[in-house]
Structure 1
């Protein structure tokens, strides 16, 4: 996601990934009879795509050795088309990035936000979906714009980028919690007016904790003028996710991007977004800023972001 972690956490995660790799990187169970096309993709083990993930349902979790969740289902579909066997390695968010940047894994997934800095150290696929600015709101309340948030009690998780956005809202009081459960608990108790979290997390909580009496709403993104006046408001805009790969994994990135683009066209992505309670109109239609952010950076000047029909 768009989460940020301090250096200590990053170092801890890097050590965790090193340990996981040392203990679990043997290729004794590598698939036999790997096709030439799959072998040509240049994965660390031919026919296998090693994936770093953290438990972050309903985006990614590992059950019975398989990755499930929205990102997990997307990768599994694409990997099957490419003749690759998916093998997960569990770590935390900083470890996901470190595993890719040191090429101990082939890819990491789980709502990783594209950024100009991250792409300098790795490769991003085309966006498998775009994450809209979602709000957990108590039933009966409606908030549409940043202006509606003024003077409210706003919650999110410590280290998430929404901390900066909330701090920029006039008169708003930030409530930061160790995890999403704290946000939901205080929202249900009325101590928080709005919680900023990844959308599928909110949708899942609605189903699993009906006693909270909350709903999911989407913030109208701030305008370019508003963001220029308050740069932290940029985090209230939709962000584009991507599967993140090592710099040298150019063939694999292109192959995965091609599969992702095909999933927009054949309806598979819309089906998967709906499976987890998401709205394809929110998740699969890019904001205008997506193209301009990547054109001339890690995409050609004429690149058009994938989208379902508008």
Structure 2
């Protein structure tokens, strides 16, 4: 009990929280990233954040909200942290303090089984769905003839894809894989991009990172969360957590060869974590 009390007291001193001793978490509702269940966090990022918060002596306060407002809410201190399939981008790093990655990913084209589109050229002159607020939307809009349809949730986009209102969709790979695995009657699949085109890095790069984002005045908390995240990488517990939510591919656990955060929001000698096993 004394250890927990000392951790709670330390948290009060080190962290800038909207509710003292409590981590207020933006819940945007997508599995398998981060959701609230009976006052605790579930999902891949949810389990990681719940474990880290407990070790840091913090309680959890879930705050449901729409994705498109979550970053602003984190910046303003309405909530303390955003996570759950939140990709690192340079633009987000300019406005938020980002933790070390919880996982890695590569985008792909979600489409009907029988189609195998795997390149940016395949999306030209197509009606493509995606979600409001995604960083890669600016890149999608550059593709010739592409008609972009925006949705609040990946489920809504996939349902339109099933009935033919759109030709394809681009979204968070884990959320899409999770939904498809539980709805085989949709007859959808996702094929990764083969381009790896430097002119379209947010769409096609490999080894991109999922992170937690906090306000700029919460650097101490971000550092402590990063330490806890790296501990889960050190013994490869991230893979065990991933298995609960269908994150089975090596692409979820292998960083990019391009150490793109070094010298940006990390020291020049920083290296992205990976499993030791």
TM bucket, shorter chain:
0.7 to 0.9
* Residue 211 (structure 2) aligned to one of 239, 242, 259: 242
> Which residue pairs with 2:140 in the alignment?
166
> Which residue pairs with 2:263 in the alignment?
296
Q: CA deviation at 1:118?
A: 3.0
Q: CA deviation at 1:133?
A: 0.3
Cα pair 1:127 1:241 within 8 Å, conserved: yes
Larger-Rg structure: 1
Rate the CA distance shift 1:156–1:295 in 2: closer, same or farther, 3 A.
same
> Which residue pairs with 1:16 in the alignment?
none
CA displacement, residues 32-70 of structure 1 (integer Å, 9 cap, x when unaligned): 974324432323356432322222222122222222212
Tell me the distance in 1 between the aligned counterparts of 2:112 and 2:157. 12
User: What are the within-5 Å matches in structure 2 for residues 147-162 of structure 1?
Assistant: 147-162=121-136
> Which residue pairs with 1:55 in the alignment?
29
Tell me the distance in 1 between the aligned counterparts of 2:90 and 2:135. 16
Tell me the distance in 1 between the aligned counterparts of 2:188 and 2:128. 14
Q: CA deviation at 1:274?
A: 2.2
More helix by share: 1
Cα pair 1:165 1:235 within 8 Å, conserved: yes
> Which residue pairs with 2:107 in the alignment?
133
The root-mean-square deviation of aligned C-alpha atoms, in Å, is: 2.8
**Structure 1 residue 286 corresponds to structure 2 residue 255:** yes
Q: CA deviation at 1:176?
A: 3.7
Question: For structure 1, which runs of at least 5 residues remain unmatched after alignment?
Answer: 1-30
Cα pair 1:286 1:305 within 8 Å, conserved: yes
> Which residue pairs with 1:102 in the alignment?
76
Question: For structure 2, which runs of at least 5 residues remain unmatched after alignment?
Answer: none
> Which residue pairs with 2:221 in the alignment?
252
Q: Could you say what secondary structure the match of 2:129 adopts? A: strand
Cα pair 1:137 1:194 within 8 Å, conserved: yes
Q: Could you say what secondary structure the match of 1:137 adopts? A: strand
> Which residue pairs with 1:36 in the alignment?
6
Q: CA deviation at 1:211?
A: 2.0
* Residue 69 (structure 1) aligned to one of 5, 18, 43: 43
CA displacement, residues 243-289 of structure 1 (integer Å, 9 cap, x when unaligned): 11232323222211011111112122112222111234122212234
May I ask how many residue pairs the two structures share in their alignment? 272
Rate the CA distance shift 1:117–1:46 in 2: closer, same or farther, 3 A.
same
* Residue 200 (structure 1) aligned to one of 174, 188, 198: 174
> Which residue pairs with 1:275 in the alignment?
244
Greater CA drift, 173-182 or 278-287:
173-182
> Which residue pairs with 2:157 in the alignment?
183
> Which residue pairs with 1:262 in the alignment?
231
**Structure 1 residue 81 corresponds to structure 2 residue 55:** yes
Q: Could you say what secondary structure the match of 2:102 adopts? A: coil
CA displacement, residues 3-45 of structure 1 (integer Å, 9 cap, x when unaligned): xxxxxxxxxxxxxxxxxxxxxxxxxxxx997432443232335
